Structure 1
Protein backbone atom coordinates (compact mmCIF):
# COMPACT_ATOMS: atom_id res chain seq x y z
CA UNK A 1 0.00 0.00 0.00
CA UNK A 2 1.00 3.60 -0.58
CA UNK A 3 0.82 6.40 2.01
CA UNK A 4 -2.37 7.68 0.41
CA UNK A 5 -3.95 4.23 0.82
CA UNK A 6 -3.44 4.38 4.58
CA UNK A 7 -4.43 8.03 4.75
CA UNK A 8 -7.73 7.66 2.90
CA UNK A 9 -9.34 5.51 5.60
CA UNK A 10 -8.94 8.27 8.18
CA UNK A 11 -9.27 11.39 6.04
CA UNK A 12 -5.58 12.20 6.46
CA UNK A 13 -2.99 13.42 4.01
CA UNK A 14 -0.21 11.26 2.62
CA UNK A 15 2.25 13.64 4.28
CA UNK A 16 0.67 12.93 7.67
CA UNK A 17 1.33 9.22 7.12
CA UNK A 18 4.96 9.92 6.28
CA UNK A 19 5.25 12.09 9.40
CA UNK A 20 3.87 9.30 11.59
CA UNK A 21 6.27 6.88 9.93
CA UNK A 22 9.25 9.10 10.69
CA UNK A 23 8.02 9.63 14.26
CA UNK A 24 8.15 5.88 14.94
CA UNK A 25 4.39 5.46 15.23
CA UNK A 26 4.45 2.85 12.45
CA UNK A 27 6.67 -0.23 12.38
CA UNK A 28 9.76 -0.22 10.13
CA UNK A 29 8.85 0.23 6.47
CA UNK A 30 10.39 -1.41 3.43
CA UNK A 31 11.02 0.63 0.31
CA UNK A 32 10.73 -0.20 -3.34
CA UNK A 33 13.66 -0.06 -5.75
CA UNK A 34 12.61 3.49 -6.57
CA UNK A 35 12.58 4.52 -2.89
CA UNK A 36 8.83 4.55 -2.26
CA UNK A 37 7.53 3.33 1.09
CA UNK A 38 5.66 0.02 1.06
CA UNK A 39 2.94 -0.34 3.65
CA UNK A 40 1.14 -3.52 4.70
CA UNK A 41 -1.97 -4.41 6.75
CA UNK A 42 0.33 -4.34 9.78
CA UNK A 43 1.04 -0.63 9.16
CA UNK A 44 -2.65 0.03 8.62
CA UNK A 45 -3.49 -1.49 12.00
CA UNK A 46 -0.65 0.40 13.67
CA UNK A 47 -2.17 3.62 12.36
CA UNK A 48 -5.63 2.63 13.62
CA UNK A 49 -4.17 1.85 17.02
CA UNK A 50 -2.31 5.14 17.23
CA UNK A 51 -5.30 7.27 16.24
CA UNK A 52 -7.51 5.43 18.74
CA UNK A 53 -4.93 5.74 21.49
CA UNK A 54 -4.53 9.44 20.77
CA UNK A 55 -8.18 10.13 21.60
CA UNK A 56 -7.83 8.73 25.10
CA UNK A 57 -4.18 9.32 25.96
CA UNK A 58 -3.29 12.42 23.97
CA UNK A 59 -0.86 12.82 21.09
CA UNK A 60 2.45 12.60 22.92
CA UNK A 61 1.61 9.60 25.16
CA UNK A 62 0.08 7.75 22.20
CA UNK A 63 3.23 8.37 20.19
CA UNK A 64 5.41 7.14 23.04
CA UNK A 65 3.25 4.02 23.47
CA UNK A 66 3.55 3.10 19.80
CA UNK A 67 7.28 3.78 19.77
CA UNK A 68 7.75 1.49 22.76
CA UNK A 69 5.71 -1.29 21.16
CA UNK A 70 7.59 -0.98 17.88
CA UNK A 71 10.93 -1.34 19.63
CA UNK A 72 9.59 -4.34 21.60
CA UNK A 73 9.61 -2.50 24.93
CA UNK A 74 6.11 -3.52 25.96
CA UNK A 75 6.86 -2.84 29.65
CA UNK A 76 7.42 0.84 28.89
CA UNK A 77 4.24 0.93 26.82
CA UNK A 78 2.19 -0.65 29.60
CA UNK A 79 3.57 1.80 32.16
CA UNK A 80 2.45 4.69 29.96
CA UNK A 81 -1.00 3.16 29.58
CA UNK A 82 -1.27 2.56 33.33
CA UNK A 83 -0.28 6.17 34.03
CA UNK A 84 -3.18 7.48 31.97
CA UNK A 85 -5.65 5.17 33.69
CA UNK A 86 -4.33 6.24 37.09
CA UNK A 87 -4.70 9.92 36.18
CA UNK A 88 -8.27 9.32 35.01
CA UNK A 89 -9.05 7.42 38.22
CA UNK A 90 -7.67 10.31 40.25
CA UNK A 91 -9.72 12.85 38.31
CA UNK A 92 -12.86 10.77 38.78
CA UNK A 93 -12.25 10.77 42.54
CA UNK A 94 -11.60 14.50 42.42
CA UNK A 95 -14.94 15.11 40.71
CA UNK A 96 -16.70 13.14 43.46
CA UNK A 97 -14.90 15.17 46.13
CA UNK A 98 -15.77 18.45 44.42
CA UNK A 99 -19.41 17.37 44.17
CA UNK A 100 -19.46 16.78 47.91
CA UNK A 101 -17.73 20.10 48.58
CA UNK A 102 -20.27 21.89 46.41
CA UNK A 103 -23.24 20.14 47.99
CA UNK A 104 -23.66 23.04 50.40
CA UNK A 105 -24.88 25.12 47.45
CA UNK A 106 -28.06 23.08 47.31
CA UNK A 107 -28.38 22.32 51.03
CA UNK A 108 -30.44 25.00 52.80
CA UNK A 109 -29.26 26.22 56.19
CA UNK A 110 -31.72 25.13 58.91
CA UNK A 111 -33.82 28.02 60.29
CA UNK A 112 -32.17 29.81 63.18
CA UNK A 113 -28.74 28.40 62.31
CA UNK A 114 -25.84 30.78 61.85
CA UNK A 115 -22.43 30.00 60.49
CA UNK A 116 -19.68 31.80 62.31
CA UNK A 117 -16.89 33.01 60.01
CA UNK A 118 -13.64 31.12 60.41
CA UNK A 119 -10.23 32.62 61.06
CA UNK A 120 -7.32 31.83 58.79
CA UNK A 121 -5.98 29.34 61.33
CA UNK A 122 -9.33 27.60 61.76
CA UNK A 123 -9.85 27.26 58.01
CA UNK A 124 -6.29 26.04 57.51
CA UNK A 125 -6.81 23.32 60.12
CA UNK A 126 -10.16 22.38 58.59
CA UNK A 127 -8.56 21.90 55.16
CA UNK A 128 -5.26 20.53 56.49
CA UNK A 129 -3.23 23.17 54.65
CA UNK A 130 -0.75 25.82 55.76
CA UNK A 131 -2.20 29.31 56.41
CA UNK A 132 0.24 30.62 53.79
CA UNK A 133 -1.60 28.47 51.23
CA UNK A 134 -4.82 30.33 51.93
CA UNK A 135 -3.06 33.65 51.47
CA UNK A 136 -1.67 32.43 48.15
CA UNK A 137 -5.15 31.42 47.03
CA UNK A 138 -6.38 34.87 48.01
CA UNK A 139 -3.63 36.51 45.94
CA UNK A 140 -4.67 34.33 42.97
CA UNK A 141 -8.30 35.47 43.27
CA UNK A 142 -9.56 32.10 44.47
CA UNK A 143 -10.64 33.35 47.90
CA UNK A 144 -12.15 36.68 48.88
CA UNK A 145 -12.26 36.80 52.69
CA UNK A 146 -13.74 39.69 54.62
CA UNK A 147 -11.56 41.81 56.91
CA UNK A 148 -12.30 42.85 60.46
CA UNK A 149 -12.57 46.65 60.39
CA UNK A 150 -10.72 46.99 63.68
CA UNK A 151 -8.05 44.30 63.63
CA UNK A 152 -7.73 43.73 59.88
CA UNK A 153 -7.84 39.98 60.43
CA UNK A 154 -9.31 37.82 57.68
CA UNK A 155 -12.73 36.26 58.21
CA UNK A 156 -13.89 33.38 56.01
CA UNK A 157 -17.66 33.18 55.68
CA UNK A 158 -19.68 30.18 54.40
CA UNK A 159 -19.20 31.02 50.70
CA UNK A 160 -15.49 31.55 51.19
CA UNK A 161 -15.16 28.27 53.09
CA UNK A 162 -16.98 26.49 50.28
CA UNK A 163 -14.63 28.01 47.70
CA UNK A 164 -11.63 26.94 49.78
CA UNK A 165 -12.94 23.37 49.96
CA UNK A 166 -13.42 23.33 46.19
CA UNK A 167 -9.90 24.68 45.69
CA UNK A 168 -8.42 22.02 47.96
CA UNK A 169 -10.10 19.19 46.05
CA UNK A 170 -9.17 20.60 42.65
CA UNK A 171 -5.56 21.04 43.75
CA UNK A 172 -5.51 17.40 44.80
CA UNK A 173 -6.62 16.66 41.26
CA UNK A 174 -3.58 18.59 39.96
CA UNK A 175 -5.57 21.57 38.70
CA UNK A 176 -3.56 24.76 38.32
CA UNK A 177 -4.41 27.80 40.45
CA UNK A 178 -5.35 29.78 37.34
CA UNK A 179 -7.80 27.04 36.32
CA UNK A 180 -9.38 27.03 39.77
CA UNK A 181 -9.74 30.81 39.69
CA UNK A 182 -11.52 30.71 36.33
CA UNK A 183 -13.86 27.97 37.48
CA UNK A 184 -14.84 29.73 40.69
CA UNK A 185 -15.31 33.03 38.88
CA UNK A 186 -17.64 31.31 36.41
CA UNK A 187 -19.53 29.63 39.24
CA UNK A 188 -19.97 32.91 41.11
CA UNK A 189 -21.13 34.67 37.94
CA UNK A 190 -23.63 31.98 36.98
CA UNK A 191 -24.86 31.41 40.52
CA UNK A 192 -27.29 28.86 41.80
CA UNK A 193 -27.39 25.11 41.75
CA UNK A 194 -28.28 24.95 38.04
CA UNK A 195 -24.77 26.09 37.12
CA UNK A 196 -23.34 23.52 39.52
CA UNK A 197 -25.37 20.71 37.97
CA UNK A 198 -24.31 21.68 34.45
CA UNK A 199 -20.66 21.80 35.48
CA UNK A 200 -20.68 18.43 37.23
CA UNK A 201 -22.68 16.76 34.45
CA UNK A 202 -20.30 18.08 31.78
CA UNK A 203 -17.32 16.90 33.83
CA UNK A 204 -18.85 13.45 34.20
CA UNK A 205 -19.52 13.30 30.47
CA UNK A 206 -15.88 14.12 29.71
CA UNK A 207 -14.74 11.37 32.08
CA UNK A 208 -17.10 8.82 30.54
CA UNK A 209 -16.07 9.76 27.02
CA UNK A 210 -12.41 9.43 27.86
CA UNK A 211 -12.97 6.05 29.52
CA UNK A 212 -14.67 4.81 26.37
CA UNK A 213 -11.86 6.23 24.23
CA UNK A 214 -9.32 4.37 26.34
CA UNK A 215 -11.23 1.13 25.83
CA UNK A 216 -11.34 1.70 22.07
CA UNK A 217 -7.63 2.45 22.03
CA UNK A 218 -6.87 -0.69 24.00
CA UNK A 219 -8.89 -2.82 21.56
CA UNK A 220 -7.08 -1.40 18.53
CA UNK A 221 -3.71 -1.79 20.21
CA UNK A 222 -4.51 -5.40 21.10
CA UNK A 223 -5.35 -6.07 17.46
CA UNK A 224 -2.01 -4.57 16.45
CA UNK A 225 -0.15 -6.71 18.99
CA UNK A 226 -1.89 -9.81 17.65
CA UNK A 227 -0.63 -9.02 14.14
CA UNK A 228 2.87 -8.48 15.49
CA UNK A 229 2.72 -11.87 17.19
CA UNK A 230 1.70 -13.53 13.93
CA UNK A 231 4.55 -11.89 12.11
CA UNK A 232 7.18 -12.46 14.77
CA UNK A 233 6.34 -15.13 17.39
CA UNK A 234 9.51 -14.23 19.32
CA UNK A 235 7.87 -10.95 20.24
CA UNK A 236 5.44 -12.86 22.45
CA UNK A 237 8.27 -13.78 24.81
CA UNK A 238 9.21 -10.10 25.09
CA UNK A 239 5.75 -9.34 26.46
Structure 2
Protein backbone atom coordinates (compact mmCIF):
# COMPACT_ATOMS: atom_id res chain seq x y z
CA UNK A 1 0.00 0.00 0.00
CA UNK A 2 1.40 3.40 -0.93
CA UNK A 3 2.45 5.67 1.92
CA UNK A 4 -0.04 8.37 0.98
CA UNK A 5 -3.01 5.98 1.14
CA UNK A 6 -1.66 4.42 4.33
CA UNK A 7 -1.50 7.84 5.97
CA UNK A 8 -5.21 8.40 5.35
CA UNK A 9 -6.39 5.39 7.33
CA UNK A 10 -5.71 7.17 10.62
CA UNK A 11 -8.54 9.52 9.67
CA UNK A 12 -11.05 6.93 8.43
CA UNK A 13 -12.39 6.33 11.94
CA UNK A 14 -11.42 9.61 13.56
CA UNK A 15 -13.92 12.11 14.90
CA UNK A 16 -11.13 14.67 15.15
CA UNK A 17 -9.34 16.63 12.45
CA UNK A 18 -10.62 18.37 9.32
CA UNK A 19 -14.12 17.87 7.99
CA UNK A 20 -12.60 16.36 4.85
CA UNK A 21 -9.37 14.43 4.24
CA UNK A 22 -8.38 13.44 0.70
CA UNK A 23 -5.59 11.20 -0.56
CA UNK A 24 -4.27 9.93 -3.87
CA UNK A 25 -2.16 6.82 -4.41
CA UNK A 26 -0.85 4.24 -6.84
CA UNK A 27 -0.35 0.47 -6.53
CA UNK A 28 1.24 -1.40 -9.41
CA UNK A 29 -0.08 -4.75 -8.13
CA UNK A 30 -3.58 -3.44 -7.52
CA UNK A 31 -5.45 -3.28 -4.23
CA UNK A 32 -7.84 -5.58 -2.37
CA UNK A 33 -9.77 -4.98 0.85
CA UNK A 34 -11.89 -7.43 2.81
CA UNK A 35 -15.24 -6.31 4.23
CA UNK A 36 -14.84 -3.38 6.64
CA UNK A 37 -16.41 -0.04 7.51
CA UNK A 38 -15.39 3.48 8.56
CA UNK A 39 -16.77 5.95 11.07
CA UNK A 40 -16.39 8.65 8.42
CA UNK A 41 -18.21 8.73 5.10
CA UNK A 42 -16.05 7.80 2.12
CA UNK A 43 -16.01 8.81 -1.52
CA UNK A 44 -13.51 6.99 -3.71
CA UNK A 45 -12.68 6.31 -7.32
CA UNK A 46 -9.91 5.44 -9.74
CA UNK A 47 -8.02 7.69 -12.12
CA UNK A 48 -7.59 4.74 -14.48
CA UNK A 49 -8.83 1.19 -14.49
CA UNK A 50 -11.82 -0.54 -12.92
CA UNK A 51 -12.88 -1.16 -9.31
CA UNK A 52 -15.32 -3.78 -8.07
CA UNK A 53 -17.10 -2.92 -4.82
CA UNK A 54 -19.22 -5.29 -2.75
CA UNK A 55 -21.97 -3.66 -0.65
CA UNK A 56 -25.20 -4.95 0.87
CA UNK A 57 -27.24 -4.09 -2.24
CA UNK A 58 -24.98 -5.99 -4.61
CA UNK A 59 -21.71 -5.89 -6.48
CA UNK A 60 -20.75 -2.75 -8.37
CA UNK A 61 -18.23 -2.46 -11.17
CA UNK A 62 -16.93 1.11 -11.21
CA UNK A 63 -14.93 2.59 -14.12
CA UNK A 64 -12.76 5.68 -13.77
CA UNK A 65 -15.64 7.88 -14.94
CA UNK A 66 -17.53 7.22 -11.71
CA UNK A 67 -17.03 7.24 -7.94
CA UNK A 68 -18.56 5.38 -5.01
CA UNK A 69 -20.16 7.11 -2.03
CA UNK A 70 -20.42 5.18 1.25
CA UNK A 71 -22.13 6.77 4.28
CA UNK A 72 -20.50 6.27 7.69
CA UNK A 73 -20.41 2.73 9.12
CA UNK A 74 -21.36 1.11 5.79
CA UNK A 75 -19.74 -2.31 5.39
CA UNK A 76 -18.01 -2.81 2.04
CA UNK A 77 -15.24 -4.72 0.31
CA UNK A 78 -13.41 -3.93 -2.90
CA UNK A 79 -10.54 -4.55 -5.23
CA UNK A 80 -8.98 -3.13 -8.35
CA UNK A 81 -8.30 -5.02 -11.54
CA UNK A 82 -4.78 -4.46 -12.74
CA UNK A 83 -2.55 -1.62 -11.55
CA UNK A 84 -4.37 0.95 -9.44
CA UNK A 85 -4.15 4.71 -9.35
CA UNK A 86 -6.93 6.36 -7.46
CA UNK A 87 -8.16 8.63 -4.72
CA UNK A 88 -10.24 8.53 -1.56
CA UNK A 89 -12.03 11.21 0.45
CA UNK A 90 -13.06 10.76 4.10
CA UNK A 91 -15.85 13.02 5.39
CA UNK A 92 -16.43 13.63 9.11
CA UNK A 93 -19.67 11.99 10.27
CA UNK A 94 -21.53 15.21 11.25
CA UNK A 95 -20.99 16.57 7.73
CA UNK A 96 -22.66 13.47 6.24
CA UNK A 97 -26.09 14.29 7.69
CA UNK A 98 -27.40 15.78 4.44
CA UNK A 99 -25.43 13.52 2.10
CA UNK A 100 -26.91 10.30 0.62
CA UNK A 101 -27.84 7.86 3.36
CA UNK A 102 -27.38 4.77 1.18
CA UNK A 103 -24.33 3.69 -0.83
CA UNK A 104 -24.42 4.88 -4.43
CA UNK A 105 -22.30 5.46 -7.50
CA UNK A 106 -22.11 8.91 -9.06
CA UNK A 107 -20.50 10.26 -12.19
CA UNK A 108 -17.21 12.03 -11.49
CA UNK A 109 -17.65 15.51 -12.91
CA UNK A 110 -14.64 17.55 -13.95
CA UNK A 111 -15.31 19.89 -11.03
CA UNK A 112 -15.41 17.03 -8.52
CA UNK A 113 -12.25 15.45 -9.87
CA UNK A 114 -10.25 18.67 -9.80
CA UNK A 115 -11.51 19.64 -6.35
CA UNK A 116 -10.59 16.21 -4.96
CA UNK A 117 -7.13 16.24 -6.54
CA UNK A 118 -6.48 19.69 -5.08
CA UNK A 119 -7.57 18.45 -1.64
CA UNK A 120 -5.18 15.51 -2.05
CA UNK A 121 -2.28 17.97 -1.82
CA UNK A 122 -3.27 19.08 1.70
CA UNK A 123 -1.16 17.75 4.61
CA UNK A 124 -2.72 14.87 6.54
CA UNK A 125 -0.32 14.28 9.43
CA UNK A 126 -1.40 14.14 13.07
CA UNK A 127 -0.99 17.90 13.47
CA UNK A 128 -3.32 18.76 10.58
CA UNK A 129 -5.21 21.92 11.65
CA UNK A 130 -8.85 22.74 10.85
CA UNK A 131 -9.37 23.92 7.28
CA UNK A 132 -8.81 27.59 6.58
CA UNK A 133 -11.45 29.57 4.66
CA UNK A 134 -10.11 28.69 1.21
CA UNK A 135 -9.83 24.96 1.92
CA UNK A 136 -13.19 24.92 3.69
CA UNK A 137 -14.77 26.37 0.56
CA UNK A 138 -13.16 23.69 -1.61
CA UNK A 139 -14.31 20.99 0.82
CA UNK A 140 -17.85 22.32 0.49
CA UNK A 141 -17.55 22.03 -3.30
CA UNK A 142 -16.77 18.32 -2.90
CA UNK A 143 -19.66 17.85 -0.47
CA UNK A 144 -22.07 19.68 -2.78
CA UNK A 145 -21.04 17.47 -5.71
CA UNK A 146 -21.81 14.38 -3.60
CA UNK A 147 -25.07 15.94 -2.43
CA UNK A 148 -26.34 16.99 -5.87
CA UNK A 149 -25.08 14.25 -8.21
CA UNK A 150 -27.80 11.77 -9.19
CA UNK A 151 -26.93 8.11 -8.50
CA UNK A 152 -26.14 6.02 -11.57
CA UNK A 153 -26.57 2.22 -11.32
CA UNK A 154 -23.42 0.30 -12.25
CA UNK A 155 -24.00 -2.90 -10.39
CA UNK A 156 -25.28 -6.38 -10.15
CA UNK A 157 -28.13 -6.41 -7.61
CA UNK A 158 -28.21 -9.29 -5.15
CA UNK A 159 -31.42 -11.05 -4.11
CA UNK A 160 -32.32 -10.75 -0.43
CA UNK A 161 -33.51 -14.34 0.02
CA UNK A 162 -30.50 -16.15 1.61
CA UNK A 163 -30.96 -19.20 -0.64
CA UNK A 164 -31.00 -17.08 -3.80
CA UNK A 165 -28.13 -14.95 -2.56
CA UNK A 166 -26.01 -18.08 -2.05
CA UNK A 167 -26.71 -19.07 -5.67
CA UNK A 168 -25.98 -15.54 -6.89
CA UNK A 169 -22.64 -15.34 -5.09
CA UNK A 170 -21.64 -18.75 -6.44
CA UNK A 171 -22.32 -17.44 -9.95
CA UNK A 172 -20.32 -14.29 -9.26
CA UNK A 173 -17.39 -16.48 -8.22
CA UNK A 174 -17.72 -18.64 -11.34
CA UNK A 175 -19.86 -16.96 -14.04
CA UNK A 176 -18.94 -19.75 -16.49
CA UNK A 177 -20.77 -22.40 -14.46
CA UNK A 178 -23.17 -23.98 -16.96
CA UNK A 179 -25.74 -25.46 -14.58
CA UNK A 180 -29.28 -24.57 -15.65
CA UNK A 181 -32.00 -23.06 -13.48
CA UNK A 182 -33.32 -26.45 -12.30
CA UNK A 183 -29.84 -27.60 -11.30
CA UNK A 184 -29.14 -24.38 -9.42
CA UNK A 185 -32.51 -24.69 -7.68
CA UNK A 186 -31.59 -28.20 -6.51
CA UNK A 187 -28.18 -26.96 -5.32
CA UNK A 188 -29.78 -24.07 -3.44
CA UNK A 189 -32.55 -26.17 -1.87
CA UNK A 190 -35.28 -24.05 -3.44
CA UNK A 191 -37.93 -24.87 -6.02
CA UNK A 192 -37.23 -23.81 -9.60
CA UNK A 193 -40.47 -21.83 -9.63
CA UNK A 194 -39.50 -19.90 -6.49
CA UNK A 195 -36.00 -19.28 -7.81
CA UNK A 196 -37.36 -17.94 -11.09
CA UNK A 197 -40.07 -15.78 -9.53
CA UNK A 198 -38.01 -14.30 -6.71
CA UNK A 199 -35.00 -13.53 -8.88
CA UNK A 200 -37.19 -11.19 -10.89
CA UNK A 201 -38.94 -9.61 -7.89
CA UNK A 202 -35.74 -9.14 -5.86
CA UNK A 203 -33.22 -8.12 -8.56
CA UNK A 204 -35.29 -6.84 -11.48
CA UNK A 205 -33.69 -9.44 -13.78
CA UNK A 206 -34.77 -12.94 -14.69
CA UNK A 207 -32.26 -15.65 -13.82
CA UNK A 208 -30.75 -15.93 -17.32
CA UNK A 209 -30.41 -12.16 -17.75
CA UNK A 210 -28.83 -11.81 -14.31
CA UNK A 211 -26.28 -14.54 -15.10
CA UNK A 212 -25.48 -12.85 -18.42
CA UNK A 213 -24.94 -9.56 -16.57
CA UNK A 214 -22.62 -11.31 -14.10
CA UNK A 215 -20.57 -12.61 -17.03
CA UNK A 216 -20.40 -9.16 -18.60
CA UNK A 217 -19.23 -7.61 -15.33
CA UNK A 218 -16.50 -10.22 -15.01
CA UNK A 219 -15.45 -9.55 -18.61
CA UNK A 220 -14.89 -5.86 -17.76
CA UNK A 221 -12.66 -6.88 -14.84
CA UNK A 222 -10.67 -9.22 -17.09
CA UNK A 223 -10.30 -6.59 -19.81
CA UNK A 224 -8.96 -4.10 -17.25
CA UNK A 225 -6.47 -6.74 -16.06
CA UNK A 226 -5.17 -7.20 -19.63
CA UNK A 227 -6.64 -10.59 -20.54
CA UNK A 228 -7.02 -11.42 -24.23
CA UNK A 229 -10.54 -11.30 -25.66
CA UNK A 230 -10.36 -14.93 -26.77
CA UNK A 231 -9.27 -16.05 -23.30
CA UNK A 232 -12.08 -14.06 -21.67
CA UNK A 233 -14.64 -15.69 -23.97
CA UNK A 234 -13.47 -19.21 -23.10
CA UNK A 235 -13.14 -18.48 -19.37
CA UNK A 236 -16.71 -17.17 -19.25
CA UNK A 237 -18.17 -20.20 -21.00
CA UNK A 238 -18.77 -18.81 -24.50
CA UNK A 239 -18.25 -21.29 -27.35
CA UNK A 240 -16.41 -18.74 -29.50
CA UNK A 241 -14.85 -15.30 -29.16
CA UNK A 242 -17.32 -13.94 -31.72
CA UNK A 243 -20.27 -15.08 -29.58
CA UNK A 244 -18.80 -13.23 -26.60
CA UNK A 245 -18.09 -10.12 -28.68
CA UNK A 246 -21.67 -10.09 -29.95
CA UNK A 247 -23.12 -10.18 -26.41
CA UNK A 248 -20.61 -7.57 -25.20
CA UNK A 249 -21.49 -5.20 -28.07
CA UNK A 250 -25.21 -5.66 -27.41
CA UNK A 251 -24.70 -4.91 -23.70
CA UNK A 252 -22.23 -2.00 -23.85
CA UNK A 253 -22.65 -0.65 -27.37
CA UNK A 254 -19.04 -1.32 -28.39
CA UNK A 255 -16.58 -4.16 -28.84
CA UNK A 256 -14.35 -5.40 -25.99
CA UNK A 257 -11.30 -4.04 -27.83
CA UNK A 258 -12.87 -0.57 -28.11
CA UNK A 259 -13.81 -0.64 -24.43
CA UNK A 260 -10.26 -1.60 -23.42
CA UNK A 261 -8.88 1.28 -25.49
CA UNK A 262 -11.03 3.69 -23.46
CA UNK A 263 -9.62 2.29 -20.21
TM range (shorter): under 0.3
Structure with bigger gyration radius: 1
* TM value normalised by structure 2: 0.24
Q: Which has the higher helix share?
A: 1
**TM-score normalised by the chain length of structure 1:** 0.25
